[in-house]
Chains A and B, each alone.
Chain A
Amino acid sequence: MLEIRDLTKVYPGPVAALKGVSLSIGQGMFGLLGPNGAGKTTLMRIVARLLEPTAGTVLFNGEDIVADPRRIRRQLGYLPQDFGFYPHLSGEAMLRYLLVLKGVQAPQGLKRLAAELLDRVNLAYAAKRKVKGYSGGMKQRLGIAQALAGNPGLIIVDEPTAGLDPEERIRFYRLLAELAEDRTVLLSTHIVEDISVLCPRVAIMSDGRFVADTTPGEARDRLDGTIYQGAVAKEDLHEIERRYRITQAILIEGRNQVRVHLSPEEAGQGAVPEGFEPVSPTLEDAYLLLAQANGASGNGEGA
């Protein structure tokens, strides 16, 4: 159980990245959604004890990890957003080195374990190759392998699928889902659909606060019957934008495929644009509407 209480982080400037947030996260996969600069990475770095908070506490299984970072390090699997490795080591040697540092043990021995972990992330073929020769996706998979190693009680993964092809992305989520059965996994990603599929619970952050703590189903249910989709000529899009809350607008074959949100009252008053049909809401619709409601531009600096 991860408990975050009144967590505040103020960077010199001052810039308040977290504004007294509180949250309880139990076992299973927990998704963090939010625009750039919402405070997701700051939150995860504090939980990983790479960053000292300005105020507040973080408890993991009842132990205060702000006061004593060593308590979380023994139980943590962490995949940061941006990371690298020693370029002169092979993938296998690098992983084995990190396994040793983490105190990972396995009956088959660390060499075999490293090979098997690399196999799980589909890197066995490049195990002997130096890391400096890895592509971005290969490095990401090596990072995943180290994060999942050793049965950590808490796994924090920040944008874990960046650079992975769809097949690898699915493979990784399968591994993550397996682990999440009996531990806490904190997943931050911009791919809303992934959260929707994987996370029974999700929190949406905006401007250093949680603006929602829900389940994907709840989020979708709240919007049931309020999302309409239709095609709009390019010259008409501006008018639609002015009059409606748009959750998506994608240009396809010269026309915009647009999704708008209308409340039941608005829909009842005949405000539905011509040619638009009600569609099932998605988590992305919910996230984007929440983000808009809280004034996030989606273009802020990462924190």
Chain B
Amino acid sequence: MSALGRWWEVTRRELTSGLRWPGYWILFVVLFFMAWGWSEGAVTISSGDSTVGGERSHVTSVFAQSMIQCVLVMGIGAWFLAIAAGLVVIRDLELQVTEVFHSTRLTPGEYVWGKFAGALGVFLIIWILYLCTGAVFNHVVAAGEDVRHIGEFSLGNYLFPTILFGLPQILLFAGVPFFLGTWTRRPIIVFFFPVAVLLVTLGFLTTWSPDWLPPDVNRALMLVDPSGFRWLNETFLTVDRGVEFYNTAALRPDAGFLLSRIVFGLIGLTAVGGAAISYSARLRRGGSGSRFFRRRRRADVTKAAEPSSADATLRGLNMATAPLGFWKAARVIGREDVRELVRRPGMYLFVPLILYQSIFTTVVAIGPFNSRLLLTSGEVAVRQLNTLSLLVCFLLLFYTVESLHKERSRRLAEIFHTTPIGTGSILLGKTIGNSLVAGLILVIGVVASWAVIAWYQLFDGSPVGFDVVPFILTWGGVLVPTFIFWTALVTALFALFRNRYAVYGVGMALIVYTIYRMVFNDPFGWVFNWIAWNAVQWSDMGAFSLQGRELLLNRLLVLSLVPLLVALAVKWFGRQDFDATRLVHRIRPKPLLVGALRLIPFAAPAIVLAMVLHFGGRAGRQGEAAEDAGKDYWRENVQTWADFEMPSVSNVDVELDFEPAERSAAVKGEYTFRNHRDYPYEQIPVTAGQWDPIEWTLNGEAHEPDDRSNLFVFTPEDPLGPGDSLTVGFSYDLEFPRGMSRRASGESEFILESGIVLTAFTPTFLPVPGYLEGIGVDGDNSSEPRDYADDFFEGETEPLFGWGGEPFTVRTQITLPEQYTANGVGRKVSDEVVDGRRTVVWETDHPVALFNVVAGKYAVKEGDGTAIYYHPEHDYNIEEMSAALDAARKYFSEWFHPFPWDLLKISEFAAFATYAQGFPTNITFSEGIGFLAKSDPRSHIAFMVVAHEAAHQWWGNLLTPGQGPGGNIISEGMAHYSTLLLHEQVYGDRYRIEFAKRIEQMYGDRRFVDSERPMVEVDGTRSGDGTVTYDKGGWVPWMLQQEMGRENMLAGLQAFIAKYNPDPDFPVLQDMLAVLRGFAPDTTAFDAFAEQWFFDVVVPEYRFSDVTRTQEGGEWVVRGTVGNVGTGRMRVQVAAVAGERWSDEGDDGSRTVVNEDYRDARTEVELGAGESAEFVIRADFEPERVLADPDVLVLQLNRDAAVAELGR
């Protein structure tokens, strides 16, 4: 037989045996169902919107198939390949058949390549079957005229992605584990490769892409991503190119990417070559393994020739036996397990990997507005909880099972289990041994976290130091019980099944199901959340103050199950093989019942704790009673009161007496209603919370309004005539948040020991006038988004938020323990402490549309008519925030409208909620916003968020937008526009440009091309509406300002605010444009601008071509063509430049300094969609590059590509 024949024989044998391996058929079944799911439209590129009713991106497009290949091979195929290819030689070595093989003419090379080809071949067969199945599902089973996600059949759409994305990965994931298995003969190292690559790829390479990442680094990451997904995503998917593009365009890899794919494939094949060399060398050494092991064995062999002196008897040894005590025995077992674990290479592979994954996902975390976060110890500890609990549970599953099984796998079981050591000691010892692995990971994790925090302190200017207490509280209190419980559960499962594969199956299924529930669908409540997923919301201002009680009970529940599981494990643990006949007798009802009764003492604590959590949760704020109350409210009132137009509230006077430690308050207050309409009111509805009992008054007299499931309808004796007023009074006690929660979650408002934050949006602490649409509405009874007519804004428009009607005055009297500072809207008129209780009174010095209350144990930074109240440990960004607030108050007052109130303040609250809200005079920030943002002199993150939120004093409070499409852009978009203006004013062009580019990038990344609507139609109901509202909503007024001129724009905005403050008609974008138009110097240009940017969706995208640079006489001439490959018609500057524009010298981040060496020469072109224009720029310097829009004045896509380098 020829060499080829022998190779084929090995390949054929491996193919045959590989196809009999059930794992591959399990893979095929998984792929089969996935193919079916995708044909049903479960996966498409997220372009388009099903609500639009138009074309959807095809799952059969080359882009979708490429995406699937990237993810599928990496996520699923790699595991099967690693097992199939990595273990083939190991298996033969264990079966000791290789010596027989090589006593024939089979060479090591023929054997190794044959084995690899066989293993690879089986996988490719399965993969081809999957592709065929997918094609049949897509084009035969699911296809049809009404199937919008399936395109025409194209063989290339399946083959090309397989070759470009699938095959290199397949070769890599087959070749490298094959080499590792052949070289080391250790399965654990074979498994390590896909685990490591998967974690690094999914956890970093494919997902980590902050805005500030330099393009070169991004490009490098694309090329080193073995899945290819980063290249696909960053090149084609991140910036949505629309359904038509994805369905019809060809996918063309660039040369660099193509080379990287070839290299990945070659790495796999080279690894097989390495395996052949290693294997051949081993054979030459007589199968003695690697050189390392060979040396050690030779040293042993030299000792073997020593003479024996064994003639003595056993009696002389004076042996006796005394059984070990329980704990000592457990210690002995545990110590031996630890010794073995320490020797396992897996420890040194998986532990760093887990820590890398855990810590890395933490340090790259970003906060609001894409800002980096300051890494406080609490944040670092809590952000790692989910990852650590998941990965360590996986590791514990593996180690515990292997530990329990190791006596059997080493054939020591028959000796081991006849020793007098107790079963309880064996199990406890093994549990201790394996728990030490988890403990070791936690300890190393703390050290690594300290190192990360210290590194950021030393090299990144972070002011935050390390504190071990949050780690002890969260990791010790949350993770340790999880690990103890999990180890006990795995042990009990092992004792029950006596089969490690069954335990792996059940354990993995339990973890996967848990994660599925916690991440995707109906998260487990406290009773079943054994892994404590998302169970901790950290706050430096008072950890555990929100759900500490529930968390404690949950942890106790988990721990209380441990004795039960241990009892079951001891009972079932297989030191002897059960007899089937006796087993049948044991599982009769009566013995089972007796057995169950015996376990009751072990189960009782868990049952009690579970009942407390279950029934406590049901009765609490997330329970059925609360849900039913909400539903009743909706059911009983939606038809009658949903469209009821309320009279105005003219005054609010409330007294709030808080006990933060008890989450309670005594509330007393009075609302004055004034009929600002021209018709009388017979009834006035007020929505209350679930406070019982409420004592109501009407015009000072006790009153019993009609209780319509918490919508209290007041019927005065005489209707409330136009211009008339009446008062509604109330008093009650409340607990908020009320009762226990059912599951881990944050709260948007709360009264807690850590602080208080309450708003008058919803009836959390005060009644709210009128019927509230959101209460009692969920997936069952939600309605389609309201359809607005084109002229909906004509006449009076209701406010987007707030109580409606005219602005009103507020007096808030707050009493609470003296160590708290309490802030309300308006100005503080008194602050007294009596008997340890502080009473503060706030009164509005100018009417407001809404109000709130916030309190905490604060330090304060006072500015120029401003103040910032903050947690004393959170002083990192206070100077920057205070400067921003001062500047905002000063310049926004100049530009838009004088600030009518005395004091503008920001107060911090605990991160149980993660928003910032700009209530009149009383802005509230969650601690992660601004206070714990990683600001630095260049990014000005803290400045940015303060400027944005401060701008809401004008865009939101002084001018409350109208309800309806485009309304929210007046609030959020104009706040971003104001932030641009303030950046320019305070820091200069450089930093305005940085901010503009930042939000432009976000718009490009987050928009949904096919579902994007003109700004005047954006109502927040579609994907991508957010970025249009904020980012585009900030950019477009900026461009409009360029169109109108700055002074005209600001004058127009002043007139706009003046017109609608106050006014019963609340404005939307059309109203704003109508006012601004009056200030436009060129109304034709204004109309054209408004038409395309407000009433249409356009985004330019500029590209250069044929750019040349020549020297003519004493000047340089740059010629070229610039085209708009996007949409919209804009004038745009083209600049030929030399040098870097901005200088760091003389700029510590506080002002823009232009580099002295920087030169530019410009021209201007006007380009419509698809148009191009030739340009000529003459310069008296040698230009290095040309770029479009050097001052960042035109919103565009892919700005980085609108540059042409001029070769030297």
Contact = CB atoms under 8 A, between A and B. Distances in A.
Interface stretch (A79-87, A219-227, A270-278): A79-87
Contacts of A82: 411, 414
A143 interface: yes
A140 to B, nearest CB: 12
Nearest to B300: A129
Given A98-B419, A101-B332, A122 B308 contact: yes
A297 interface: no
B324 interface: yes
Contacts of A40: none
A273 B577 CA distance: 52
Interface string A83-112: 111111000000001101111111110000
Interface string A25-51: 000000000000000000001001111
Interface in A118-167: 119-122, 124-126, 128-130, 133, 143, 146-152
Contacts of A10: 579-581
A187 to B, nearest CB: 16
Interface string B136-167: 00000000000000000000000000000000
A78 B415 contact: yes
Interface stretch (A171-179, A196-204, A246-254): A171-179
Interface residues of A, number: 66
A3 interface: no
B308 A50 contact: no
A88 B343 CA distance: 8
B418 A119 contact: no
A12 interface: yes
A255 interface: no
B312 A119 contact: yes
A63 interface: no
Contacts, number: 162
Contacts of A80: 414-415
Contacts of A70: 420, 422
A104 B317 CA distance: 11
B321 interface: yes
Given A50-B575, A87-B410, A150-B320, A97 B336 contact: yes
B132 to A, nearest CB: 42
B306 A50 contact: no
B340 A88 contact: yes
A101 B310 contact: no
Contact of A85 (B318, B410, B421): B410
Contacts of B422: 70
B578 interface: yes
B588 interface: no
Contacts of A106: 317-320
A216 interface: no
A125 B577 contact: no
A83 B317 contact: no
A48 B313 CA distance: 25
Given A54-B579, A83-B411, A116 B321 contact: no
B297 interface: yes
Interface in A179-221: 179
B290 to A, nearest CB: 14
Nearest to B310: A122
B321 A52 contact: no
B333 to A, nearest CB: 8
Describe A's contact surface by its main secondary structure: mixed
Contacts of A124: 306, 308-310
Interface residues of B, number: 49
Contacts of B415: 78-80, 83, 98, 143, 146-147
A101 B303 contact: no
Contacts of A76: 418
Nearest to B305: A125
A54 B579 CA distance: 6
Nearest to B307: A125
Contacts of A101: 324, 329, 332-333, 416, 419-421
B95 interface: no
Interface in B686-722: none
A103 B321 contact: yes
B303 A120 contact: no
Contacts of A152: 321
A50 to B, nearest CB: 5
A130 B410 contact: no
B576 A50 contact: yes
Nearest to A148: B314
A73 interface: yes
B418 A104 contact: no
B411 A102 contact: no
Nearest to B583: A52
A27 B979 CA distance: 97
Contacts of A103: 321-324, 420-421
Contact of B310 (A9, A98, A104, A171): A171
A2 interface: no
Given A9-B579, A12-B580, A83-B411, A125 B314 contact: no
A74 interface: yes
Given A50-B576, A78-B414, A84-B410, A102 B321 contact: yes
Residue among B297, B406, B419 with the highest chain A CB neighbour number at 10 A: B419
A150 B418 CA distance: 13
Contacts of B414: 45, 48, 50, 78, 80, 82-83
A105 B406 CA distance: 26
A113 interface: yes
A88 B575 CA distance: 23
Contacts of B340: 86, 88
A102 B329 CA distance: 10
Interface in B397-441: 406, 410-412, 414-422
Contacts of B97: none
A281 interface: no
Nearest to A179: B314
B590 interface: no
B94 to A, nearest CB: 13
B310 A52 contact: no
Contact of A86 (B319, B324, B333, B410): B410
B312 A120 contact: yes
B417 A50 contact: yes
A288 interface: no
Contacts of A129: 300, 303-304
Nearest to A141: B310
B420 A107 contact: no
Contacts of A78: 414-415, 418
B420 A102 contact: yes
B315 interface: yes
B786 interface: no
Interface in B1002-1055: none
B252 interface: no
Nearest to B581: A54
A150 B422 CA distance: 18
Interface string A223-236: 00000000000000
B582 interface: yes
Nearest to B408: A84
Contacts of B312: 116, 119-120
B419 A73 contact: yes
Contacts of B309: 119, 124
13 contacts: A10-B580, A51-B577, A52-B576, A82-B414, A84-B410, A86-B336, A97-B332, A105-B322, A107-B318, A117-B317, A122-B310, A129-B300, A149-B319
Interface of A: 9-12, 45, 48-55, 69-70, 72-74, 76, 78-80, 82-88, 97-98, 100-108, 113, 116-117, 119-122, 124-126, 128-130, 133, 143, 146-152, 171, 175, 178-179
Q: What are the 9 tightest A-B residue pairs by CB atom distance, in nearest-first order?
A: A84-B411, A125-B306, A80-B414, A52-B579, A101-B419, A122-B310, A122-B308, A73-B420, A150-B321
Given A10-B581, A83-B412, A103-B324, 8 more contacts: A50-B576, A74-B323, A98-B415, A102-B419, A108-B317, A150-B319, A150-B321, A151-B320
